[in-house]
Amino acid sequence: MLIKALRIGLGQLIIFIDFITRPRKLKRTIEAQAAVEQAASSLSLYQFHACPFCVKVRRNLHRLNLPLTLCDAKNDAQARSELEQQGGKIKVPCLRIEENGQSTWLYESKAIIAYLDQRFAA
């Protein structure tokens, strides 16, 4: 009981610190941002809201000004099931990449951030 309360409290603290220290969004022209939004429409991030590694990826999404679909794998049974059945394991963060009718599941926050930086950084 005490450990659960501590975990919840730490999770809320992580979210609060993320909110007050969030990086600035990348500025793009309207046309460039529209192209980024079109490319990002094929991406989904499976995550837990208070997971530190998920927060790290979401901070990068904010910095890159990427409007990805966020799927809550903790509270949404359908998202959790998709992650387990199609991705192979329940591990977050996980980036689902839809290209040419195929899904690729990318785990590990560092790998996700590197992929997003390589694909969307200015």
Question: Which strands sit side by side in the sheet containing 94-99, from one edge to the other?
Answer: 69-72, 43-47, 94-99, 102-107
Q: What is the pLDDT of residue 62?
A: 94
Would residue 10 count as lying in a domain? Answer: no
Rounded distance between C-alpha atoms, residue 37 and residue 58, angstroms? 16
Quote the mean pLDDT of the chain.
92
Query: Is residue 1 one of the residues assigned to a domain?
Result: no
Domain tally, the chain = 1
62 to each of 3, 39, 76, how far by Cα in Å? 31, 16, 23
Residue at 21 is within a domain = no
Residue 11 lies in a domain: no
Residue 23 domain-assigned (yes or no): no
Q: Confirm whether 78 is domain-assigned.
A: yes
Has residue 14 been placed in a domain?
Answer: no
pTM, to two decimals: 0.87
Tokens of 94: 């996980």
- Please indicate, yes or no, if residue 107 is contained in any of the structural domains: yes
* C-alpha dihedral (87, 90, 95, 99), degrees to nearest 10: 10
Query: 63 lies in which domain range?
Result: 31-120
Residue 53 belongs to a domain with what CATH number? 3.40.30.10
CB 72 within 8 Å of CB 45: no
Taking 80 as the threshold, does the pLDDT of residue 122 lie above it?
no
**Distance between CA atoms of 78 and 104, rounded to whole angstroms?**
18
pLDDT tens across 7-53, in order?
A: 888 888 888 888 888 889 989 999 999 999 999 999 999 999 889 99
Is 8 within 8 Å of 49 (Cβ atoms)? no
